[in-house]
Chain A
């Protein structure tokens, strides 16, 4: 069976470091046509411009070609074709599949049906491992290391899949976490239990100011309206945190602010001009990390 990337847990610490190292190479030389002649299927059952463009650019820069769709409504899926049949069909044509789907577990299923590697580009609120790897790459880039850092995660820690995956991935590197969220959006206990079992320290707070000055990474997230069933609940928490340049007076000099983007109101525009803002560079890094993921999975596959 080929190696797929569905959940960040599918990669060992060594594999994570290997991909980050490869990404560094792609950042230095962003057009290496090492996958000339390969074809990648880009199956976006739900629209996502940002992630899709990043993956497709990565494929193109590696010299491979892309087939696929960016919206399932004009494919056989709208005629009622099962995911299994779509994947069986496409995997006959391509060397690797990049897939986003609104249902959770869909990518894992696709990887078990497909003979070629599958990269999960988001399955509902579940996993989005390329985002996690680009977060790690960015942390490494800004701090020069991954070990022993203090990461302050802010915002929706309950529904935000990026924070959950980042927590799992960082657990290899002896971190300290600060979880900043309103009561309604606290980190779920299953993740705190996971940290307890691994002996990793964490602090919970509802105040953004409280721990701003002692973290290395400030990982801001958006409160996603689509996750709320009760609009009143959303109104109550949507604007609780608003980071502005004036709050950054006492932060550590190496501190960097990350955000998976898009942002709404949680980071003021005036933060963009401070030396701490790093979210646009973070988004750019997505390209190099995705090039590294795709080439790693295809290389792994051909070496078998």
Chain B
């Protein structure tokens, strides 16, 4: 058994499904929300405050018998830029991938501009993601103001 496989077993083994690893520990519940996992039938195992060599405390989410479109998973990229996705079939990792930051995000973050229409009327937020140094900023489709990704969740 390789080291990665063993680490994934810490919570409990998965026969088929998806493992989301390296989610910042504090964002695990928000991640469940964004992926729409509240109320689904599949077995979900969650680990929080697990040790991570790279990023201190991490979280992990394992969803049995559930496979996501890249588009759905990439919604997490802002929240968990270092997350990895492991596709498990028959107890084996058959595919491992990183998240990609989407060029546009809808309905997730809030606009930081208190005078933005989305903070006053029932309108979905919509942003373009714009590279800024080694981070990214969000350009509001509506009010054209920049929102820093820190503190949007």
Query: Chain B's interface: helix, strand, loop or mixed, by majority?
Result: loop
Q: What CA separation (Å) do A165 and B113 show in the bound complex?
A: 19
- Given the known interface contacts A104-B142, A105-B143, A108-B142, the answer about A124 and B115 at a Cβ–Cβ threshold of 8 Å is yes
Q: List 13 A-B contacts (CB under 8 A).
A: A83-B121, A101-B117, A103-B143, A104-B115, A104-B116, A104-B117, A104-B142, A104-B143, A105-B117, A105-B140, A109-B142, A124-B143, A126-B143
Q: What CA separation (Å) do A127 and B146 show in the bound complex?
A: 15
Q: What CA separation (Å) do A238 and B144 show in the bound complex?
A: 27
Q: What CA separation (Å) do A104 and B142 show in the bound complex?
A: 7
Q: Which residues of A, 106-132, contact B by the 8 Å Cβ criterion?
A: 106, 108-109, 123-127
Residues of A at under 8 Å CB distance from B? Answer: 7, 82-84, 101-106, 108-109, 123-127, 190
Q: What CA separation (Å) do A225 and B7 show in the bound complex?
A: 59
List of A residues within 8 angstroms of B140 by Cβ: 105
Residues of B at under 8 Å CB distance from A? Answer: 113, 115-118, 120-123, 140-146
Q: What CA separation (Å) do A59 and B47 show in the bound complex?
A: 64
List of B residues within 8 angstroms of A103 by Cβ: 115-117, 120-121, 143
Q: How far apart are B141's CB and chain A's nearest CB, in angstroms? A: 7
- Given the known interface contacts A103-B115, A103-B117, the answer about A108 and B141 at a Cβ–Cβ threshold of 8 Å is yes
The reply to whether B121 and A82 contact each other, CB–CB distance below 8 Å, is yes
- Given the known interface contacts A7-B144, A105-B142, A105-B143, the answer about A82 and B122 at a Cβ–Cβ threshold of 8 Å is yes
Q: What CA separation (Å) do A58 and B121 show in the bound complex?
A: 31
Of the candidates A7, A106, A127, the one whose C-beta lies within 8 Å of that of B117 is A106
Closest residue of chain B to A188, judged by CB?
B146
List of B residues within 8 angstroms of A109 by Cβ: 117, 121, 123, 142
List 10 tightest A-B contacts by C-beta distance, closest first. A105-B142, A104-B143, A105-B143, A105-B117, A103-B117, A106-B117, A104-B115, A124-B115, A108-B142, A105-B116
